[in-house]
Amino acid sequence: IVTLAPERPNAGALIRRLSRRGVIVSLGHTDSTYAQCVEAVQSGATHLTHTFNAMRGFHHREPGAAGYALASDSVFRELIYDRIHVSNEAAALLLKCSGAERVIAVSDGTMAMGMPSGSTIQMWGHTCHVGEKSVTLASSGALAGSAITLLDAFRNLCDDFGLEIAI
């Protein structure tokens, strides 16, 4: 899986090349417009990374990548559901628009998983604070990842939305 921003130069050609080679192309960390998302999917992208996070938000005149996540029938959407990265209401909207079968639970887990809340760690050259479920940059307080496991993400989805895990 490769995550890329479709608004970057030559993204369409790279998406076509990667998808022809069997690589899953996921759109993320992007300020792309809705039209750029459409073009990227036509070129072979099939996923959205960390839906709603690090992507252009929804606006009624330019729905961007978040709007594409809500409207598209053709992509899988990753959802970090630690109840911090994405609110319950936004997750509910995504599930309602997409259907649970098109949503992929991810933890965005970092090396902070399992560490005590209140710990300070060095991660990617940054000082970070470990919370109960999240990791934030000490310098700005911005989210730097999650401290939940994938099982926690599934449990949150099941508890909040009545979903069931088929084993």
Point out the residues that are catalytic: 108
Q: What is the 3-state secondary structure (H, E, C) of the chain?
A: CEEECCCCCCHHHHHHHHHHCCCCEEECCECCCHHHHHHHHHHCCCEECCCCCCECCCCCCCCHHHHHHHHCCCCEEEEECCCCCCCHHHHHHHHHHHCHHHEEEECCECCCCCCCCCCEEEECCEEEEECCCEEEECCCCCEEEECCCHHHHHHHHHHHHCCCCCC
